[in-house]
């Protein structure tokens, strides 16, 4: 297949969309799948070239999926519209992966949370803060990204988390983030963030059930580590003083 030709110049049998219709998506290469998703190239250049540039820039489909809109737009031939198409496709795939056999997962332990979180947070080079939004029975409504970047540089503001929780009518949330270093031990910033979010959740009536940190294959639950007990003890002490 000559990627230097525009798709219209290619024989019908070699066009990604026609090949997909005739042979099924599984028959297409990664480059062809991206080309079929993007639809059009730029003037005088095949969309297959744009797809090839994406794979060269990010190394793999996983790399393309993990790239931000800004990073995608940095690839020649990929504008904002194409970048949005790619991110939407990635999100659809992620939500399908989260929905196990059409049943909403029940998140009742750090291990259950980690099983949902790992496909989203594994191999990230920066810290990604996300929230598992849960209903009253702790069934997963959705996973919502909250922030990207080091927590040592800027703490997540409660409004980002609870805006997502309120919009989803969530009864409870589990906060989570990754440690790209592979060490899941909580930092002082992690503990401080947890305290702020738990306090805000108490005011709003949305329980923060846990803060889970993933590092490599290890997972740490701040609740299991006792940090939530300290918050509970502080709250009981305040109630006793008020009485």
Roughly how many angstroms between the first and final C-alpha of the chain, as a whole number?
Answer: 79
- How many CB atoms are closer than 10 A to CB 162? 20
Q: How far is CA 172 from the centre of its chain?
A: 19
Distance CA 241, CA 243 (A): 5
Poorest-pLDDT segment among 40-49, 108-117, 204-213 = 40-49
Average pLDDT of the residues in 196-211: 94
Q: In whole numbers, what is the pLDDT of the chain averaged over residues?
A: 83
pLDDT tens digits, one per residue of 135-146:
999 999 989 888
For the entire predicted model, the pTM comes to 0.60
The pLDDT value recorded for residue 104 is 77
pLDDT tens digits, one per residue of 32-59:
999 999 988 887 778 888 999 999 999 9
Q: Is the pLDDT of residue 71 over 70?
A: yes
Average pLDDT of the residues in 195-208: 93
pLDDT tens digits, one per residue of 170-201:
999 999 999 988 999 998 889 988 999 999 99
The pLDDT value recorded for residue 125 is 81
Q: Is the pLDDT of residue 77 over 50?
A: yes
Q: Is the pLDDT of residue 3 over 50?
A: no
Distance CA 53, CA 24 (A): 24
Percentage of the chain modeled with pLDDT above 90:
44
SS in 3 state form for 221-237? ECCCCCHHHHHHHHHHH
The pLDDT value recorded for residue 45 is 79
Q: Is the pLDDT of residue 232 over 80?
A: no
Domains of the chain, first to last: 7-97 (1.10.150), 102-242 (3.40.140.10)
pLDDT tens digits, one per residue of 78-108:
999 999 999 999 888 877 765 555 567 899 9
Average pLDDT of the residues in 9-24: 75
The pLDDT value recorded for residue 137 is 94
Poorest-pLDDT segment among 24-28, 137-141, 214-218 = 24-28
Distance CA 24, CA 20 (A): 5
SS in 3 state form for the chain? CCCCCCHHHCCHHHCHHHHHHHHCHHHCCHHHHHHHHHCCCCCCCCHHHHHHHHHHHHCCHHHHHHCCHHHHHCCCCCCHHHHHHHHHHHHHHHHHHHCECCECCECCCHHHHHHHHHHHHCCCCCCEEEEEEECCCCEEEEEEEEEECCCCCCCCCHHHHHHHHHHCCCCEEEEEEECCCCCCCCCHHHHHHHHHHHHHHHHHCCEEEEEEEEECCEEEECCCCCHHHHHHHHHHHHHHHHC
At residue 30 the predicted structure's pLDDT band, cuts being 50, 70 and 90, is: very high
């Amino acid at each position: 297949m000559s990627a230097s030709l525009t798709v219209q110049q290619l024989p019908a049998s070699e066009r990604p969309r026609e090949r997909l219709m005739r042979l099924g998506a599984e028959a297409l290469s990664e480059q062809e799948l991206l080309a079929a998703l993007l639809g059009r190239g730029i003037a005088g250049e095949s969309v297959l070239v744009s797809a090839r540039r994406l794979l060269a820039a990010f190394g793999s489909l996983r790399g393309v999926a993990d790239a931000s809109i800004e990073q995608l737009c940095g690839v020649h031939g990929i504008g904002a519209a194409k970048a949005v198409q790619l991110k939407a496709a990635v999100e659809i795939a992620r939500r399908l992966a989260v929905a196990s056999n059409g049943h909403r997962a029940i998140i009742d332990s750090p291990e259950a949370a980690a099983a949902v979180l790992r496909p989203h947070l594994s191999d990230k080079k920066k810290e990604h803060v996300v929230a598992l939004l849960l209903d009253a029975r702790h069934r997963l409504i959705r996973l919502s990204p909250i922030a990207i970047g080091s927590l040592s540089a800027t703490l997540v503001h409660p409004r980002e988390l609870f805006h997502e929780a309120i919009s989803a009518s969530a009864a409870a949330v589990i906060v989570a983030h990754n440690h790209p270093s592979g060490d899941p031990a909580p930092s002082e910033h992690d503990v401080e963030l947890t305290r702020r979010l738990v306090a805000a959740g108490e005011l709003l009536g949305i329980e923060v059930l846990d803060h889970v940190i993933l590092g490599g294959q290890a997972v740490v639950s701040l609740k299991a580590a006792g940090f939530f007990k300290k918050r509970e003890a502080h709250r009981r002490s305040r109630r006793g003083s008020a009485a």
